[in-house]
Every structure is written in structure tokens, then in C-alpha cells.
């Protein structure tokens, strides 16, 4: 998130709430955290959403300073590359920009917009479902591993898109859709504990 006006917008909110201590209690952050953000610290997406939920401010306005009267729903695109290949490094946790969607289409997703984030896929291991360079929407509220869906995994090597199959020894197979080029990857039970599930992939740019 490049916009440096965030601290000014947060200061405006803090003043309306009666100062840093009162704002910290209202929002659910520490006073030190509020102070660091006002001094120029960059918030992650979780912090941005917490502030908007507690204050009723627009996520788009808080993050970018832009006003929107079109009624569109804005989904944050993170500066994180989700690999549909060997692995891609997570660059940054803050949103780089927002993607606008018509509320009618958002309703068809069946997923609350507040749980949706966008990542950019890299690689061809999930071809033809997810193409290299495609925008992928994930439901961050759906993190229960099961077979068939595609999940975004946070691994020591970065974020990856894979299907998931449990193995009898407590481990798992990470399965690619491009099976002609990519064999299933075995993950031992101990290594599986290092994986964090970012969410279930459901659109790119069609329903998955």
C-alpha cells in the first residue's frame, strides 16, 4: 500500500474518537500500535479491516483515500504471489490495490465480501483451472482442509495453490491439475504443521 496519506486519515479517525487511548480501546489495538501507524507505519490487511469494522469507514477510503459512490464492492489484491508452480515468495501483506466488482456478481459467489482476498497466480501447475498470471479470489473464512477444492497454502517457500489429499500416515499429497507435468507432492505429517491455509480458491475469473 503506497499511499502515504493513511496516517492522516487514521489521525482524523483518532481525533473523532477522542484521542489515541480512546481510539485504541474502541478499535481493539494498543495505544502504541495506533501511535506507530500515525507516525508512518504501514498497516496489514487484518488491521485495516479491524479499523473499518470498528469505525464504519470504507476500506477503500482508509487504504487509498479514494471515495467511491458507484456501489461497487472492492476486494483487496495483496502484494503476495500465489504459486501454481514450485512456490512464490510472499512479498508483502498489505493490499497493493483494490479490484471492483458489481454487487450482483458478489452475491452469486455465496461468500461474504469481507472474507474475500485476491492473489496473483504464478506458474502452470494448476492449468487449466488456474492460468499463469490469473487473479484468484480466495475465501479466507474457509480453511478446513478437504479433498476436491483448491486451497491457497502458506508454506516456508511462499503461497501455493493446490488440491489436497490425506494419506494414511497422517501426511498429505499436494495435487496439481496439470498432472501431465506435475506429479503429486508428498508432505510428511511433521512438515504439514508448517503449512498455514490462507483460504479456498473459488474464482479466477470464473467460479472454480
Q: Give me the pLDDT at residue 139, please.
A: 96
Are 131 and 124 a contacting pair, CB within 8 Å?
yes
The average pLDDT across 41-60 equals: 88
Q: Give me the pLDDT at residue 80, please.
A: 64
Give the residue with greater pLDDT, 92 vs 194: 194
Residue 27 has pLDDT above 60, yes or no: yes
Render 149-180 in DSSP notation, one character per residue. Answer: SEEEEEETTEEEEEEEEE-TTS-EEEE-S-TT
Residue 6 has pLDDT above 60, yes or no: yes
Q: SS3 sequence, 63-96?
A: HHCCCCCCCCEEEEEEEEEEECCCCECEEEEEEE
The full set of domains in the chain, from first to last, is 6-64 (1.10.260.40), 73-203 (2.10.109.10)
Q: Give me the pLDDT at residue 94, please.
A: 65
pLDDT tens-place string over residues 59-109? 888 988 888 777 888 899 876 666 666 555 444 466 778 898 988 889 999
pLDDT tens-place string over residues 130-188? 999 899 999 999 999 888 899 998 877 778 899 999 999 989 999 999 999 999 999 99
pLDDT tens-place string over residues 111-129? 998 899 999 898 899 999 9
Q: Give me the pLDDT at residue 178, please.
A: 95
Q: Give me the pLDDT at residue 67, please.
A: 81
Q: Which of 55, 59, 96 is nearest to 74 (CA)?
A: 59
Amino acid at each position: 500500500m503506497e499511499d502515504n496519506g493513511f496516517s492522516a486519515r487514521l489521525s482524523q479517525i483518532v481525533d473523532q474518537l477522542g484521542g489515541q487511548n480512546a481510539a485504541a480501546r474502541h478499535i481493539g489495538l494498543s495505544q502504541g500500535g495506533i501511535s506507530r501507524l500515525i507516525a508512518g507505519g504501514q498497516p496489514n490487511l487484518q488491521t485495516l479491516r479491524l479499523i473499518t469494522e470498528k469505525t464504519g469507514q470504507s476500506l477503500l477510503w482508509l487504504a487509498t483515500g479514494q471515495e467511491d459512490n458507484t456501489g461497487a464492492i472492492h476486494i483487496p489484491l495483496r502484494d503476495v504471489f500465489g504459486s501454481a508452480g514450485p512456490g512464490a515468495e510472499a512479498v508483502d501483506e498489505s493490499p497493493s490495490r483494490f479490484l471492483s466488482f458489481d454487487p450482483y456478481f458478489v452475491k452469486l459467489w455465496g461468500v461474504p465480501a469481507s472474507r474475500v482476498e485476491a492473489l496473483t497466480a504464478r506458474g502452470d501447475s494448476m492449468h487449466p483451472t488456474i492460468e499463469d498470471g490469473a487473479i484468484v479470489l480466495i475465501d479466507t473464512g474457509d480453511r478446513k482442509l478437504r479433498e476436491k477444492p483448491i486451497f491457497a497454502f502458506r508454506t516456508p517457500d511462499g503461497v501455493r495453490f493446490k488440491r489436497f489429499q490425506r494419506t494414511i500416515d497422517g501426511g498429505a499429497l499436494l495435487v496439481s491439475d496439470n498432472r501431465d507435468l506435475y506429479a503429486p507432492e508428498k508432505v510428511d505429517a511433521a512438515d504439514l504443521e508448517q503449512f498455514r491455509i490462507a483460504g479456498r480458491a473459488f474464482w479466477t475469473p470464473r467460479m472454480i
